[in-house]
Structure 1
Amino acid sequence: MQQDDDTTAPLLRDVLPGLSAELVRLLQEEGEGDLAIRAHDLRVLADCGCGDDFCQSFHTASHPPGTPYGPGHRNVALLPARGDLILDVVDGRIMFVEVLGRPELRPALDAALTGGAGPR
């Protein structure tokens, strides 16, 4: 499911405050200060759509399905205490957060994407 646009989707810090704080901290530890600032205002725009149980990944900005990000794209792999966190960044903007191995996040993400979000 996808929200209407990048400005009406729920903020990650409201949906999953622990994950939001973890992203900011890990980005700071990696020397990615600009991304850490941007991570504080990430929105949960759409599920990745893969349907895999081990995946809790989500889009934070609009992107045409099935197309590559193109020039200006890079991955930022973070080192969380568990699971995997990899960011797709285009021209300094976090577009997608790949979250693997954190199934406890799925209920809050699903609720946020269906309009029933609340702090968790």
Structure 2
Amino acid sequence: MEQDEHTTAPAPLLRDVLPQLSAELVTLLEEEGERDLALCAHDLRPLADCGCGDDFCRSFRTAPHPPGTPSGPGHRNVALFPARGHLIDVVHGRIMFVEVLDRPELRPALRAALTGGGGPR
């Protein structure tokens, strides 16, 4: 569910609801030479789940994709190599989507963040 800035508080920061995942993303991006994206990753806000409904998926959008993406001009994926997988979807230098698979322990905090319930601090 996307937040409306005029009627509700902004979505919580990923670093507040899932600090370990946030730190892991920053570290992995730095290791891949993606310093600018690592700086941006520190301030990601999960806005909506991917909507696939797969039980193993914890992927989330951090921004709406502009028309013509994700495979249009300005789009690229950044493959990261964590102990368990994710892939960053980047459009025009902005992280738009974080793919997180096979990490069931993230479900409660992500669900709470996406429904406005916050998460662990």
CA RMSD between the two structures: 1.8
SS in 2 for 1:38: helix
What count of residue pairs does the alignment treat as equivalent?
117
- Name which of 28, 31, 36 aligns with 1:29: 31
Where does residue 114 of structure 2 map in the other structure?
113
Shift of 1:30: 0.6
Per-residue CA deviation, residues 48-77 of structure 1 (Å, 9 max, x unaligned), is 111111100000012369x53310100001
Give the percent of matched residue pairs that are identical in Structure 1 and Structure 2: 78
Partner Cα separation in structure 1 for residue 78 and residue 108 of structure 2: 25
Partner Cα separation in structure 2 for residue 4 and residue 105 of structure 1: 25
Unaligned runs of 5+ in 1: none
CA contact (8 A) 1:3 1:113 kept: no
One-letter amino acid of the structure 2 residue matched with residue 14 of structure 1: D
Runs of at least 4 residues off by over 6 Å: none
Partner Cα separation in structure 1 for residue 104 and residue 3 of structure 2: 22
Where does residue 101 of structure 2 map in the other structure?
100
Partner Cα separation in structure 2 for residue 101 and residue 35 of structure 1: 23
Where does residue 78 of structure 2 map in the other structure?
76
Unaligned runs of 5+ in 2: none
Partner Cα separation in structure 2 for residue 48 and residue 100 of structure 1: 11
Where does residue 20 of structure 1 map in the other structure?
22
Where does residue 4 of structure 1 map in the other structure?
4
Shift of 1:97: 0.2
SS in 2 for 1:89: strand
Change (3 A) 1:99 1:25: same
Per-residue CA deviation, residues 22-61 of structure 1 (Å, 9 max, x unaligned), is 0000000111100000000001111111111110000001
CA contact (8 A) 1:57 1:100 kept: yes
